[in-house]
Structure 1
Amino acid sequence: MAKLLHIQASPMDDLSFSARTARAFLDAYRKAHPADPVETLDLWKADIPAFDFTAASGKYKVMRGLPHADGEGRAWQRVVELVDHFKSADKILLSSPMWNFGIPYRLKQYIDVIVQPGLTFSYDPKTGYSGLVTGRPVQLILARGGEYPQGSQAAGFDHQRPYLELILGFIGFTDVRTLVVEPTLSPAGDEKLAVAISAAQEAARNF
């Protein structure tokens, strides 16, 4: 039995290509792995703390072995709780649209909260950075209105897929699988969605 955590970054529910494709993935996954618990973390409904002065100063106090001042301990504990929740999953499904060539700000906020030294990565002056979230796969389902084929001139505008693959690799993921739905704004958008749903169902059976 393996726990699957779905991180949903779109606020558009049934209007979202990434969310609809992820839903098809989850339906197929549940049929293929009926014993596995599945949880969805909707980033637009979740209580994700602002990584503000209090949280940041709490982080540096931990790094320097100093005691927390008022509020810092509580703020840092909330960060630790989110990281523990993320790391409790044996498999990750992350679905996201492209916003302004990148990712939605709620997803960026979540990433900025959970990517922390000593929790999801470590640093050694001799060997450099090492990811601490290892031994589990992640499936990305990414939707974009335009097309950004790798190697094309348009690919330079894509700060969605490269960033997510990089940051996940940085914290330790070596099995990163990516399914892209594009171009969703074209007249053939519904056809592209149908192809993506079929691919997602197949990916789920082998996840």
Structure 2
Amino acid sequence: MPKLLHLVASPRADSESSAGARAFLDRFRQARPGWDVDEMNLWRENLPEFDGEILQAKYARMGGRAFTDGQREAFAAAERMAVRLDLAERVVISTPMWNFGIPYKLKHWLDIINQPGLTFRFDPSRGYLPLLKDRPTLVILASGGDFTTGISRGRTDLATPYLREALRFMGLRDLHFVAIGPTSGPATHTAAARERAHRRLAEMAARF
């Protein structure tokens, strides 16, 4: 059964990014009833701290050294998460923008799986090369301000370029971004932004 992996980066079930994901996934399930949707809530997932044995495992692999037993056990957590991503034919990331960037849980997940020999490798003559196969990947990004029409009053969207580069580094290049914003302010503005985004998401889901 083909699988879509949905990474949930908001701690709130009623958040705008979560609502956008529901609008997308409801239509996706209608269009592709034979697909399995694997939801990975990063706030409920047991994400290991990136220190100690798992950190030493990364440097052991970078230095061409064999793992100790403790390093092998710690690195297995990163391998399981990377495999869960790699088994998905489609990926959806729903996330709020926090302080112009991404929530620390999403960064935490990226730091765990972005490992040499796991999601990328280094070739002396060609540089860094991704190890994951490409697949359609959608990022639903909700922000309190409006970063889509140029009225963000000088603030900068750091989340989109960061996620684009981090995902491409591992091999995910077929990227699509849908912004939802503003999510705060006059109700007429937030409702219009939500409606525009949900309409676009439903249209995308039918062919994703």
TM-score, length-normalised on structure 2?
A: 0.92
In the aligned structure 2, how far is the partner of 1:155 from the partner of 1:79? 38
State whether residues 24 and 201 of structure 1, in contact with CA within 8 Å, keep that contact through their aligned partners in structure 2.
yes
2:40 equivalent in structure 1: 41
Q: 1:154 to 1:86 in 2, by over 3 A?
A: farther
Q: 1:199 to 1:149 in 2, by over 3 A?
A: closer
Listed as ranges, the matches of 1:24-63 within 5 Å are 24-63=23-62
Q: 1:144 to 1:47 in 2, by over 3 A?
A: same
Asked whether 1:106 is paired with 2:122, we answer no
Listed as ranges, the matches of 1:44-123 within 5 Å are 44-69=43-68, 71-123=70-122
1:205 equivalent in structure 2: 206
Deviation at 1:191, TM superposition (A): 2.0
Structure 2 counterpart SS, 1:142: strand
Deviation at 1:86, TM superposition (A): 1.1
Structure 2 counterpart SS, 1:192: helix
State whether residues 17 and 143 of structure 1, in contact with CA within 8 Å, keep that contact through their aligned partners in structure 2.
yes
Structure 2 gap segments, 5+ residues each: none
In the aligned structure 2, how far is the partner of 1:137 from the partner of 1:160? 19
What letter matches 2:190 in structure 1?
G
Asked whether 1:4 is paired with 2:4, we answer yes
State whether residues 149 and 155 of structure 1, in contact with CA within 8 Å, keep that contact through their aligned partners in structure 2.
no
Asked whether 1:196 is paired with 2:197, we answer yes
In the aligned structure 2, how far is the partner of 1:62 from the partner of 1:87? 20
**Structure 1 residues 158-190: Cα deviation after superposition (integer angstroms, max 9, x where no partner):** 111111111111111221011000111121112
Aligned length: 206
Deviation at 1:150, TM superposition (A): 7.8
Identity of aligned residues (%): 40
State whether residues 148 and 154 of structure 1, in contact with CA within 8 Å, keep that contact through their aligned partners in structure 2.
no
Asked whether 1:21 is paired with 2:20, we answer yes
State whether residues 148 and 181 of structure 2, in contact with CA within 8 Å, keep that contact through their aligned partners in structure 1.
no
What letter matches 1:92 in structure 2?
V
**Structure 1 residues 38-65: Cα deviation after superposition (integer angstroms, max 9, x where no partner):** 1110000011111112211012223334
Listed as ranges, the matches of 1:109-188 within 5 Å are 109-149=108-148, 157-187=156-186, 188=189
- RMSD of equivalent CA atoms: 1.8
In the aligned structure 1, how far is the partner of 2:51 from the partner of 2:111? 11
Structure 1 gap segments, 5+ residues each: none
In the aligned structure 1, how far is the partner of 2:4 from the partner of 2:49? 26
In the aligned structure 2, how far is the partner of 1:81 from the partner of 1:148? 35
Q: 1:155 to 1:38 in 2, by over 3 A?
A: farther
